Amino acid sequence: MENKVYIIHDNCIWDDESCPKLVCATTNLEIAKELLKKYIVEVKNSIDFDSMNLVNEDIESDYDDIQEECWIYSESDTHFSLYQSGNYNSNHISINIEQLPLCNDLENEYEINNENSL
């Protein structure tokens, strides 16, 4: 067994409604990546991408020229993000794998944060 745990969590605000979710946890990074892929497919199937003006965050863009109606997305084998330009606080999804130490000691607490993102 590895001494790390991989947690997949979904930080989502959609139409001003917060919907954070712990998707799963595993001690195997490859399993976490497979579960993340499956979850991203579920999320994508629930969103009408055809009606969105999508801009890939990984492509150099002049963000000053992006219209508010644009949706900016990014995806890798350890994360997925989608947000509405100029309206992030009302419409965004951020799904990540976090790596934390596996701890059997209940006195130690660990916080999920971007420093642990893969």
pLDDT band of 96, cuts 50, 70, 90: very high
Q: Is residue 115, in this structure, part of any structural domain at all? A: no
Q: Is residue 114, in this structure, part of any structural domain at all? A: no
Interval 15-40: pLDDT, tens:
888 888 899 999 999 999 999 999 99
* Domain count along the chain: 1
Q: Is residue 73, in this structure, part of any structural domain at all? A: yes
Residue span of the structural domain in which 33 resides: 6-102
Task: In whole angstroms, give the CA distance from residue 23 to residue 65.
Answer: 35
User: Virtual CA dihedral for 18, 23, 27, 32, nearest 10 degrees?
Assistant: -110
**66 and 55 Cβ atoms separated by less than 8 Å:** yes
The pLDDT of residue 118 is 62
Q: Is residue 113, in this structure, part of any structural domain at all? A: no
